[in-house]
Amino acid sequence: MALLGVVIFSIVFVIATLVIGPSQFVKWFETPIATPTEIKPVDNLWQAPAETTIPTDASGDEIRYGRELIAHTADYLGPQGKVMAISNGMNCQNCHLDAGTKPFGNNYSAVASTYPKFRARSGSEETIEKRVNDCIERSLNGNALSNDSREMKAMVSYIKWLGTGVPKGESPKGSGLIELPYLNYPADSAKGKVAYEAKCVVCHGKNGEGIKAADATSWTYPPLWGKDSYNDGAGLYRLSRFAGYIKANMPLGSTYNEPQLSDEEAWNIAAYVNSLPRPEKDISSDWPDISKKPIDHPFGPFADGFNEQQHKYGPFAPIVETRKLKK
């Protein structure tokens, strides 16, 4: 048997040497068999247009100013803002990562293509300006900009430029936030606290207070609750938005395909953070049609018979089922 093996090997060696040359064959033979690297999903995710495509004229200056405002909002519009003091000191980029370009990092890829659109929260057709002001009044716990201010025009121009090439009505792959599957039980803020203290506290602080930058006008690590954080009318106050955001983006450095939190941890941390005090907003005129409230909107009245506790922490599947039956 052994002899046969040697003979076969020699034949293969000779043929291979003749075909590809001796050095090549030896190289091939010595190359260790590569252990397959982890296969990443083929993504085809949306990518922001290249910066070099921003026009060099005045329209380009407006786009660049818009990007600057989104990345460094506090410097211009925060409590010590050089243009005006209308917001809480956070940057749009704290939540819309990499100036709104990161896949599943709450990016703006679907804004130009889908606005203006009807939104059930306001019960009206919303322009991009209205949507930007929603985030200023809620996520930045501030006061709206006028539509014809230089700052609003610049942010809208930047967001429109980002959407260049996205067909009208379409949301590209990787837009917005990931949708996490629901848990079959309520999210648990006590477990969330333990996970928070293990994985978030170094940057965001024991009391969610964040860490100010040396210039004291912006945050190196933004706050997660308390007076300087987003208010209770903000998107992140909904558990599904918070959990989807952190699953693909936190701790800092995480991505949608290299997450560092289990789904359960993401839901539990969302429950913990959003159970703590934060600024309150009068949202009594939100959701004029109460049957359109998202399942995780935590403020009643509701048309589906479930209480605020369940709408805030879940389990959400029974709510979804009940709503389907009502239709």
Of the ranges 28-36, 56-64, 221-229, 274-282, which one interacts with ligand HEC (CB under 6 A)? 221-229
Contact 107, 101 (CB under 8 A): yes
The per-residue b/e assignment along 2-34, b for 16 or more CB within 10 angstroms, e otherwise, is eeeeeeeeeeeeeebeeeeeeeebeeeeeeeee
CB of 96 to ligand HEC, least distance (A): 6
Least distance to ligand HEC from the beta carbon of 160, Å?
11
Report the nearest approach of ligand HEC to the CB of residue 239 (Å): 12
Separation between Cα atoms, residue 272 and residue 239, nearest integer Å: 10
Q: For residues 54 and 95, which CB has a smaller minimum distance to ligand HEC in the complex? A: 95
Footprint on residues 61-120 left by ligand HEC (CB under 6 A): 70, 73, 90-97, 106, 108, 110-111
Q: How far apart are CA 69 and CA 288, in angstroms?
A: 32
177 binds ligand HEC (CB under 6 A): yes
Among 54, 112, 136, 243, binds ligand HEC (CB under 6 A): 136
Given 54, 154, 224, 243, the residue binding ligand HEC (CB under 6 A):
224
* 166 near ligand HEC, rule: CB under 6 A: no
CB of residue 9 to ligand HEC, shortest distance in Å = 54
User: According to the 3-state scheme, what is the secondary structure of the chain?
Assistant: CHHHHHHHHHHHHHHHHHHHCHHHHHHHHHCCCCCCCCCCCCCCCCCCCCHHHCCCCHHHHHHHHHHHHHHCHHHHHCCCCCCCCCCCCCCHHHHCHHHHCCCCCCECCCHHHHCCEEECCCCEEECHHHHHHHHHHCCCCCCCCCCCCHHHHHHHHHHHHHCCCCCCCCCCCCCECCCCCCCCCCCCHHHHHHHHHHHCHHHHCCCCCCEECCCCCCEEECCCCCCCCCCCCCHHHCHHHHHHHHHHHCCCCCECCECCCCHHHHHHHHHHHCCCCCCCCCCCCCCCCHHHCCCCCCCCCCCCCCCHHHHHHCCCHHHHHHHHHHC
Q: How far is the CB of 246 from ligand HEC (least distance, A)?
A: 4
Closer residue to ligand HEC, CB minimum distance, 25 or 193 = 193
- Write out the binding residues for ligand HEC, residues 30-59 only, by CB under 6 A: none
Residues 230-259 close enough to bind ligand HEC by CB under 6 A: 230, 234-236, 241, 245-246, 250-252
Quick check: 211 binds ligand HEC (CB under 6 A)? no
Considering only residues 260 to 279 of the shown chain, the ones binding ligand HEC according to CB under 6 A are 261, 269
From the CB of 30, what's the least distance to ligand HEC, in Å?
42
How many residues contact ligand HEC, by CB under 6 A? 45
**Least separation in angstroms between CB 22 and ligand HEC:** 53
Q: Is 202 in the site for ligand HEC (CB under 6 A)?
A: yes
319 lies in the binding site for ligand HEC (CB under 6 A): no
Our CB check for ligand HEC shows the closer of 176 and 314 to be: 176
Instruction: List contacts with ligand HEC (CB under 6 A).
Output: 70, 73, 90-97, 106, 108, 110-111, 131-132, 135-136, 139-140, 155, 159, 176-177, 199-200, 202-204, 221-224, 230, 234-236, 241, 245-246, 250-252, 261, 269
